Structure 1
Amino acid sequence: MPVQKLDHVNVRTSDLPGMIDFYQRVMGMKLGARPGFDFPGAWLYVGDQAVVHLIETVDSPPDYRPDQRLEHFALSATGLGDFLAHLRAHKVAYYCRVLPDFDIRQVNLHDPDGNHLHVDFPPDEDADLSDYDGT
C-alpha cells in the first residue's frame, strides 16, 4: 500500500475567521462540508478535495520554535502571472525561487498565523519573479 499523495494539512488557529478569509480570498479555496466535530473549525476545498483543515484554539498558536518540525506545506498550481498579480492586489507579501535542477517556479508566502506555504508552478510558466513586500 504505497503512499500516493498529500491529502490535507491540519492547522490550529486562534483566528478562525481570518484564516478562512485568507484561504478563500487569497488562495481561492472554497469553504465546504466538515464532519460534526465537537470543536470549532473549517475545511477548505480545492475542487472536491478538502485540502486545508482548520481547528480553532482558545490560545494563540505558539510562534515558530527551533524544535518545530513542520516548516511549510506546498500546493501545485498553474497560472503563475495571474497568481502573483492576485497576491499583489491583496497586498500579500511573497518571495519567489526557481528550484535548481527542477526549474520549478516557487512562490513562498505566509498565512495570517505565520504558517509558511509555497505554491509550485511548472517550468514553462514565465512571470516577473521579483519579491513583493506586501505594500
Structure 2
Amino acid sequence: MKISDMHHVSLAVNDVEEAKHFYGTLLEFPELKRPDFDFPGAWYQVGNSQLHLIQNKKAETLRSENKIDSRDGHFAIRVDDYNKTVEFLQGKGIEIVQKPHSKSGFAQIFCMDPSNNLIEFNVDQMDLNGKE
C-alpha cells in the first residue's frame, strides 16, 4: 500500500448549523459542495484535506465533557504562525489551551467545537514566531 495523502476526517456533531457557524464563520474554513445525503452535514476544505461533519446525536465518538484535554482524540492542523493563530482564536472568543513547549516538538493550541470535538493547531517549535 502506498499512501499519497489524508483525504478527510469525519466528525460527528450534535447540531450541524451550530457546527457550521463554528467551522465556517468563526474558523473561516471554506465550505465545499456536499452530496445530497439523507442526513444533515457539511464539508470543509482544510489545507489539502477535507473535514466532513455529520449530524449524529447518538454517535459513539461524541464526548460528554466540555473540558479541553489534549490527550483526548483530536485532529491537528498545521498553521504558519502560532501567535497569530492564538490571536485569531481568542479574537473569535474561542476558548483555547496553549502548549507552546510540548514534548511532541510541536507548539500546540487546542480548542473545542460546540459538540466537544477537539482540534489542535500547531507549528514546529522552531517556528514559534511564524514564518518570515
Q: Report the TM range for the smaller structure's normalisation.
A: 0.7 to 0.9
Runs of 4+ aligned structure 1 residues displaced above 6 Å come to: none
Measured against aligned partners, the alpha-carbon deviations of 1:18-55 in whole angstroms (never above 9, x if no partner) come to 111111233221111112222221101135x4521011
Point out where structure 2 has 5 or more consecutive residues left out of the alignment. 66-71
User: How far 1:82 moved relative to its partner?
Assistant: 1.6
Contact 1:43 / 1:50 at 8 angstroms: preserved in 2?
no
Query: Aligned in 2, Cα 1:115/1:105: closer, same or farther, shift over 3 Å?
Result: same
Query: Aligned in 2, Cα 1:2/1:105: closer, same or farther, shift over 3 Å?
Result: same
Query: Aligned in 2, Cα 1:50/1:35: closer, same or farther, shift over 3 Å?
Result: farther
1:133 aligned partner: none
SS in 2 for 1:51: strand
Query: Aligned in 2, Cα 1:20/1:85: closer, same or farther, shift over 3 Å?
Result: same
Normalised by the length of structure 1, the TM-score is: 0.75
Point out where structure 1 has 5 or more consecutive residues left out of the alignment. 128-135
Count how many residue pairs are aligned between Structure 1 and Structure 2.
Answer: 120
**Larger displacement relative to structure 2 (2-11 or 14-23):** 2-11
Q: Identity, % of aligned pairs?
A: 24
Normalised by the length of structure 2, the TM-score is: 0.76
Q: Given residue 96 of structure 1, which amino acid in structure 2 is its aligned partner?
A: Q
In the alignment, is residue 54 of structure 1 matched against residue 43 of structure 2? no
**How far, CA to CA, are the matches of 2:104 and 2:85 in structure 1?**
23
1:130 aligned partner: none
1:41 aligned partner: 41
Contact 2:42 / 2:54 at 8 angstroms: preserved in 1?
yes
C-alpha RMSD of the superposition: 2.4
Contact 1:13 / 1:60 at 8 angstroms: preserved in 2?
no
